[in-house]
């Protein structure tokens, strides 16, 4: 068997999230069907982080296993490598029926054989997200599908509030908890700024990086910061909510279309197995002595 790593991106506007769901168009469902069409084999995908409905990905990672003899015949009579041949054929299949001719709303940028110890989900050491906000009085029409439009915000207040969330904490107040999964995460970066160049010039962006994110964590944090940026709440509110460790009915979740998974980080190949083992282990919740929890899941926004 060969383990194949896929690096891909997608516009989440037309999807009900990553995870396959009966009767719904999802990234996993569409990509799996395309792979099975090209490879003529059953495919089971493992992804670095399951994004929610409407969330985009600029750099997502997944893997699947396939028999060596099936992989070697992908190029047919051409001189291309199996990975290059798969990319070309996938691009065509994924573009069928799309409004933009020749380009689908999923694009696979790389497909190559990787170490059998590589795990797209558990070998990852970090995930990076960006939330885009267009708070100009006259919004950019071309940003409407990837940025939330709102009234002008105070970035300094948002930045002040976000700084109190950095580090390892129980983010229960900002997560939708799942049975058997910890809500403890290490938030390594939370940066609120206005880019001075590049495609996001003119927008207000929130960059977040962590070992992993639990369900709804990024959008709940951003929703809280937006309320603070509007002046409706004091900057201390973000930290107050954190230490409450309670998912209250008043939680504010920012809309999905402003969020993009910007990248997934992995260690050097020699540490794939070690990192995967660490991520799977049960560890003790340091905030609740004696309470065992599953180590952080490679989850979602």
Asked whether 263 and 130 are in contact (CB, 8 A), the reply is no
CA distances from 299 to 16, 160, 227, 242 (A): 15, 27, 25, 20
Q: Rounded CA gap, 174 and 64, in Å? A: 32
Q: Rounded CA gap, 167 and 189, in Å? A: 8
Could you confirm whether 52 is annotated as catalytic?
yes
Neighbouring CB atoms inside 10 A of 163's CB total 14
Asked whether 204 and 222 are in contact (CB, 8 A), the reply is no
User: Active-site residue among 52, 135, 170, 301?
Assistant: 52
Phi, psi of 168 (to 5 degrees): -90, 125
Q: Where are the beta strands (DSSP E) in 95-220?
A: 106-114, 126-134, 148-149, 167-170, 184-193, 204-210
DSSP letter (8 states) at residue 135: -
Q: Rounded CA gap, 147 and 133, in Å? A: 5
Asked whether 208 and 134 are in contact (CB, 8 A), the reply is no
Chain-centroid distance of CA 84 in Å reads 25
Catalytic residue list: 52
């Amino acid at each position: 068997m060969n383990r194949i790593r896929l690096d891909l991106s997608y516009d989440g506007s037309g999807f009900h999230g990553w995870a396959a769901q009966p009767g719904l168009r999802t990234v996993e469902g569409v990509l799996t069907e395309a792979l099975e069409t090209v490879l003529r084999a059953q495919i089971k995908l493992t992804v670095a982080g399951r994004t929610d409905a409407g969330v985009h990905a600029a750099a997502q990672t997944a893997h699947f296993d396939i028999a060596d003899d099936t992989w070697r015949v992908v190029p047919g009579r051409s001189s291309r490598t199996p990975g290059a041949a798969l990319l070309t054929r996938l691009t065509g299949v994924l573009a069928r029926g799309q409004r933009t001719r020749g380009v689908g709303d999923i694009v696979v940028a790389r497909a190559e054989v990787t170490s059998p110890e590589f795990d797209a989900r558990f070998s990852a050491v970090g995930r990076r997200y960006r939330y885009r906000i267009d708070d100009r009085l006259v919004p950019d029409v071309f940003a409407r599908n990837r940025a939330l439009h709102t009234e002008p915000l105070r970035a300094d207040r948002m930045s002040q509030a976000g700084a109190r969330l950095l580090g390892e904490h129980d983010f229960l107040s900002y997560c939708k908890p799942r049975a058997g999964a910890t809500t403890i995460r290490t938030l390594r970066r939370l940066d609120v700024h206005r880019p001075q160049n590049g495609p996001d010039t003119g927008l207000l962006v929130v960059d977040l990086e962590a070992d992993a994110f639990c369900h709804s964590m990024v959008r709940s944090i951003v929703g809280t910061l937006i309320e603070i940026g509007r002046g409706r709440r004091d900057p201390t509110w973000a930290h107050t909510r954190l230490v409450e460790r309670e998912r209250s009915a008043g939680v504010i979740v920012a809309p999905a279309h402003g969020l993009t998974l910007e990248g997934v980080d992995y260690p050097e190949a020699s540490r794939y197995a070690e990192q995967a083992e660490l991520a799977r282990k049960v560890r003790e919740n340091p905030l609740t002595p004696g309470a065992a929890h599953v180590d952080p899941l490679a989850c979602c926004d």
